[in-house]
Amino acid sequence: MSGWLPKSPKARRRLILVAAIAPVLALAVGLTLYGLSDSISYFYTPSQAQAAKPPAGRSIQLGGLVEKGSVVKSSNGKVEFVVRDQTAKALVSYQGDLPDLFREGQGIVATGSFRGDGVFQAKQVLAKHDERYMPREVSKALKKQGEWRGDGKVAAYQTPGSGT
């Protein structure tokens, strides 16, 4: 017998059992994670998305504030609006009915993907439900950028380059 194997037959059986189960378990975990990779939806603010450049077609969540004056509704049910944070903005295109609480200046989270032309094609749009609530990811990102005032409201935006 080799010097690295335990001398006890009982311990040897346990070691062989563990050695047989470990690769099977590792393979099962690996296949599970691979299978779930398409189900994972990453959250980005517009500036994080600009920096990360997620590939076109990858499902993500984009969150921020709806820019005032940016909502354009078409007669065919298509809605386009701009979602922004303090440093960047992204054009969002959505086909369908928006939530009742969707308004300009409000925090939203849109699920969808960027198209090849850089427009975010939303499949779902979620809006905050009262004055104190904002989706956790959006509030964390706004706090990190120094925009969060802590009372459920957000500091006024400065338009880049405007000095206001």
115-160 tens-digit pLDDT: 999 999 999 999 866 545 566 777 777 777 665 555 544 444 444 4
69-116 tens-digit pLDDT: 999 999 898 999 999 988 999 999 999 888 888 989 888 999 999 999
Protein fold of 42-144 = OB fold (Dihydrolipoamide Acetyltransferase, E2P) (2.40.50)
Q: Are 106 and 66 in contact (CB under 8 A)?
A: yes
Which two tokens mark 10? Answer: 């009982």
Q: Are 137 and 79 in contact (CB under 8 A)?
A: no
Q: pTM of the prediction? A: 0.61
